[in-house]
Amino acid sequence: MKIARLLAGVGVVAAGALVLSGCGNPYQSEVVEGTEINVAYNEGFMAFNSSSSAGNNTANSNIKYMTDGASAWGYYDNTPEWVKNTDFGTYEKTSDDPLTVDYKITADAVWSDGVPIDEADMLMMWAAMSTKVEGGWAPAASAGWNLISETPEVGDKEITFVYDKPYVDWELIAPLGVSAHGTYALAYPDEYADVQAAWDTYKSSDSDDDFTKYTDAAKEFAEGAKEKVISAIEDGDTEVLTALATAWNDAYVYTTMPESPAAFLTAGQYNLVDTKEDEYTTIEANPLFTWGASPKYEKITVRAIADSTTALQALQSGELDIWSGQPTSDILELAQGIDTAEVQQGVQASHEHVDLTVNNGGPFDPATYGGDEEKALKVRQAFLKVIPRQEIVDKIIVPLQSDAVVRNTNLVSASDPERYPILTEANGSADYADVDVEGAKALLAEAGVTGDVEVGFWYPEGNVRRGQEFELIASSAAKAGFQLVDQSEPNWVFTDPSQEPINPHDATLFAWSQTSLAVGGSDQIYACYDDPSLKGGNYNGYCNQEVTDLLAELNVTADADRQTEILTDTETLIWADAVTIPIFQFPGLTVSSDKVTGVKAMPLSPDYFWNFWEWAPAGAAAE
């Protein structure tokens, strides 16, 4: 991954704040004029629609959280506890049988082009996420949404969801994603020509009058576009739905700023103003925002810096203000040596794992052995037996977190003190507690596999810690006859079903980042899928119908004892199928400059971005 040259300076403290006028509520901006901050993440922004399978990436979600996520129905604080955003709207469960939830946008909330956020936007989110609407929508996850089969009723900035079954995590269903009229514009750009022309004029002039002309044109276009979106969904207009779904899936994927403003309409505290592949993404305070906590910085630039040493050197020299990454012991020592920095450590709700692809014609696919499931299983078991999990933890993680241990569950972490021991004892993870080269060789012999087994192995290019993990795994696996081929690249292409519906890599090394305290939702990773466009996070082609059925039951089970039973049974089946193996829970490390206040580490994703509106220049206060 390329590393951009960092700016020479960062952030100036301004004399006053910007105050919005003409708003219908008592909102007052606390943005300190002229301030900017440079922060870092280890990967670059790639897609604006983080709800799509192509955009389902933490680097994208971080940007979306600051431009949209924290403005809507609620967010997790770093306790972590769910905090409702009643400044934006309200939601209420009005019936248990059937489960019925009413949503209403109560704020005079608008998209960044001045168009009101309303029922069309919420209805399109349901259409995209539910898998119940034709067109070929490819959501990253449909858990909960897929239980809303009945087309929702909509009213003025209102929508009602009626569930087929009582979804246990209903409160985390948030009906707002990318804009309905923006998606329609991307699907039918010719109809958007007048708005595009007004935008182009405004961009060249940067005048308030031209901005007003742009928003007036956008509002006029949106009135008809929203009606067409709602009608297409309610009437089942396949032609329009296909165009919308294609735009929703693909048109928000970009690494440089697109020409059409429809591709980056925001609903939150910041607007997307610039992005450069593998280098940086810049957002600026949204002057139309009035429905939540005000940010303090006028501009935030998120720099893509894969190398932690480079990031900390930039922080030490004043070119960077906040960094959190995947540290090594050397990185921790370097961070602690920066006199002008605050270092926060903890355990994150993300865990490293290796997945084996079972449908790409590779060494772990039954098709490679004439459809012999048992042979493929033995090869997968053999490979998992030589992944040196304890060595990885001892050499890479323990120096950062002295009490770090190998993680032995897929579905819950050790932070769940009741369920983790139950699942660990029952799931079969003990068979992979230690590297077993001879056991692996015996399994390969039983499968009739002779000679070296070539394994195409992917990890994010430029990620130092994962590069170290790869070397340890490759060295250990070679002892049993597995030859790992380094297929690292920076762009996570295998997660995009439009480009690679079947994962070309035999093994992948990355982390699942937990974004909530939901009970269900694991079906997005482990459930079967018939259509590659609906695979969610199931990137390795895994399908066990019993697992799928159990996870579907978990989504609608409120009884805690039954939840534990389901989790235990599902864990056991996943381990028995030898398609994935957890390695460790992430040690957290957040480093911030003393020039910025309000930075607070967070176990869940979006990590330290969770309270971006509280970041402020040290010594400056909004007036």
Q: What is the mean pLDDT of residues 569-586?
A: 97
pLDDT digits (tens, 9 = 90+) for 474-499: 999 999 999 999 999 988 899 888 88
> Tokens 């739905």, residue?
241
Helix (H) or strand (E) holding 235: helix 208-235
Write the CA distances from 245 to 119, 121, 186, 223, integer angstroms: 18, 14, 10, 20
Is 576 in a helix, a strand, or coil? Answer: helix
Q: Is the pLDDT of residue 16 over 70?
A: no
The DSSP call for residue 263 is G
Q: 533: Cβ–Cβ under 8 A, 6 or more apart, which residues?
A: 53, 136, 137, 138, 249, 497, 498, 501
Find the length of the chain: 623
Query: Exposed/middle/buried for 509, CB within 10 Å: 0-12, 13-18, 19+?
Result: buried
Write the CA distances from 132 to 146, 333, 504, integer angstroms: 7, 52, 29
Residue 116 backbone phi and psi in degrees, to 5:
-60, 140
Q: Which of 333, 327, 330, 275 is nearest to 304 (CA)?
A: 275
Q: What is the mean pLDDT of residues 344-362?
A: 95
Q: What is the mean pLDDT of residues 345-371?
A: 96
- Mean pLDDT value across the chain: 92
pLDDT digits (tens, 9 = 90+) for 553-569: 999 999 999 999 999 99
Rounded to two decimals, the pTM is: 0.84
Q: 298: Cβ–Cβ under 8 A, 6 or more apart, which residues?
A: 18, 31, 32, 33, 34, 35, 36, 284, 285
Q: Can you name the residues that pair with 96 across neighbouring β-strands?
A: 99
DSSP string, 354-409: EEE-SSSSSTT-GGGGTT-HHHHHHHHHHHHHT--HHHHIIIIITTT-TT--B---
pLDDT digits (tens, 9 = 90+) for 141-193: 888 999 999 999 999 999 999 999 999 999 999 999 999 999 999 999 999 99
Q: Is the dihedral of CA 595, 600, 601, 602 positive or negative?
A: negative
Domains of the chain: residue spans and CATH: 1-67+257-340+594-623 (3.40.190.10), 73-175+179-251 (3.90.76.10), 349-586 (3.10.105.10)
> Tokens 């440089």, residue?
256
Question: Model confidence at 375, in pLDDT bands (50, 70, 90)?
Answer: very high
Residue 608 backbone phi and psi in degrees, to 5:
-70, -10
Question: Model confidence at 464, in pLDDT bands (50, 70, 90)?
Answer: confident
**Confidence (pLDDT) at 71:** 58
Q: Is the pLDDT of residue 533 over 80?
A: no
> Tokens 């248990």, residue?
96
pLDDT digits (tens, 9 = 90+) for 495-526: 888 889 999 999 999 999 888 889 998 998 99
Half-sphere exposure of 46 (CA within 13 A, CB side): 21
Is 424 in a helix, a strand, or coil? Answer: helix
**Confidence (pLDDT) at 70:** 59
